């Protein structure tokens, strides 16, 4: 990985966001139920989080459940919710010991109170960690996030806390779930689909994208490394012209 001439960190992406797709197909190829693939997918998360510091990735955001995923069968939705509860209970200590700060984004209203409690406790347990910032998008949709943010912003205007003429590109992000997080530099989607599926719509305006064929349960730290390296060789101009 080439070094950033201005720091000791590799010149890779600081914030990587991942659409973890392909669990169902991975399971199907093995003649197993879709949830088997989700469990295999959950096991990949640890390796990827742990690899982040090696590639200078300080922020990792992963798409675990979208606002559209409720349309799946009741068995799959219930299985995923139970997987999230088990994942948080089982991984909390290891994540904390690894110095990972965990945050959740998405709308919590539809989530089970037991799951919300676990999410709150994991956020609280890891709140002083700084090595890697892991954000898990759960019941998350980019449009839903912008709509909820706009509602809160409109309420502040109605309450006289904000003037309409003061609303600009700096104001709205303060109301988004991602608040303190930097925008993603690199968005990866596994499983060969080239769509962003309502993920970080506002935040990814200038992100680079990598659509790769690997199914999420086969994704490895080495592949993350390869993509980070590729990112270091890209020329990002943010709409400007290089002089
Ligand atoms: C998309 O694959 C994947 C999901 C909807 C769930 C993502 C969840 C995990 C990777 C597991 C748990 C994560 C955490 C944080 C514990 P798909 O089912 O759409 O696959 P397909 O397109 O092959 O059907």
| pLDDT tens-digit series, residues 128-187 | 999 999 999 999 999 999 999 999 999 999 999 999 999 999 999 999 999 989 999 999
Nearest CA to ligand 1 atom 5: 65
In short, whether 10's Cβ falls inside 6 Å of ligand 1 is no
Q: Give the angle subtended at the CA of 9 by the CAs of 8 and 11, to the nearest 5°.
A: 120
pLDDT at residue 240 in the model: 73
pTM over 0.85: yes
| 237: number of Cβ within 10 Å | 9
Active site (catalytic) residues: 21, 69
CA atoms within 13 A on the CB side of 182: 14
Q: What are phi and psi of 199, to 5 degrees?
A: -100, 125
Q: Which DSSP state fits 157?
A: H
What are residue 106's phi and psi, to 5 degrees?
Answer: 125, 175
C-alpha–C-alpha distance, residues 107 and 133, integer Å: 20
Buried residues in 2-38 as b, exposed as e (16+ CB within 10 A): eeeeeeeebbbbebbbbbbbbbbbbbeeeeeebbbbb
Q: What's the pLDDT at 104? A: 98
Q: What is the DSSP letter of 216?
A: G
- What is the per-residue pLDDT across 190-228, written as a single tens digit (0 to 9) for each? 999 999 999 999 999 999 999 999 999 999 999 999 999
Residue 106 near ligand 1, beta carbon < 6 Å: no
Q: With a 6 A CB cut-off, is 52 part of the ligand 1 pocket?
A: no
Question: Which pLDDT belongs to residue 13?
Answer: 97
Q: Is 42 a pocket residue for ligand 1 (Cβ < 6 Å)?
A: yes
Residue 2: band (very low, low, confident or very high) from pLDDT cuts 50, 70, 90: low
CA 217 – ligand 1 centroid, Å = 9
Task: List the residue whose alpha carbon is closest to atom 18 of ligand 1.
Answer: 24
Q: Round to whole Å and give the CA distance between 109 and 130.
A: 28
């Amino acid at each position: 990985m080439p070094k950033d001439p201005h720091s000791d960190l590799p010149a890779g992406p600081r914030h990587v966001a991942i659409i973890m797709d392909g669990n169902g197909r991975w399971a199907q190829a093995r003649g197993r139920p879709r949830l088997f693939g989700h469990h295999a997918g959950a096991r990949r998360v640890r390796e990827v989080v742990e690899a982040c510091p090696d590639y200078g990735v300080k922020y990792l955001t992963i798409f675990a459940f979208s606002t559209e995923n409720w349309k799946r069968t009741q068995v799959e939705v219930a299985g995923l919710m139970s997987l999230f509860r088990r994942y948080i209970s089982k991984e909390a200590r290891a994540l904390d010991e690894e110095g990972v700060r965990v945050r959740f984004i998405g709308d919590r209203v539809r989530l089970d109170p037991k799951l919300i409690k676990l999410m709150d406790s994991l956020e609280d347990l890891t709140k002083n960690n700084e090595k890697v910032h892991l954000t898990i998008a759960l019941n998350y949709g980019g449009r839903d996030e912008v709509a909820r943010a706009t509602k809160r912003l409109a309420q502040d205007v109605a309450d006289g806390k904000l003037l309409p003429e003061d609303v600009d590109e700096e104001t709205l992000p303060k109301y988004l779930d991602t608040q303190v997080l930097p925008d993603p530099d690199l968005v990866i989607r596994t499983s060969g689909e080239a769509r962003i599926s309502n993920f970080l719509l506002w935040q990814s305006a200038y992100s680079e994208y990598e659509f790769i064929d690997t199914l999420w349960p086969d994704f490895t730290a080495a592949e993350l490394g390869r993509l980070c390296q590729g990112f270091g060789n890209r020329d990002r101009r943010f709409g400007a012209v290089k002089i």
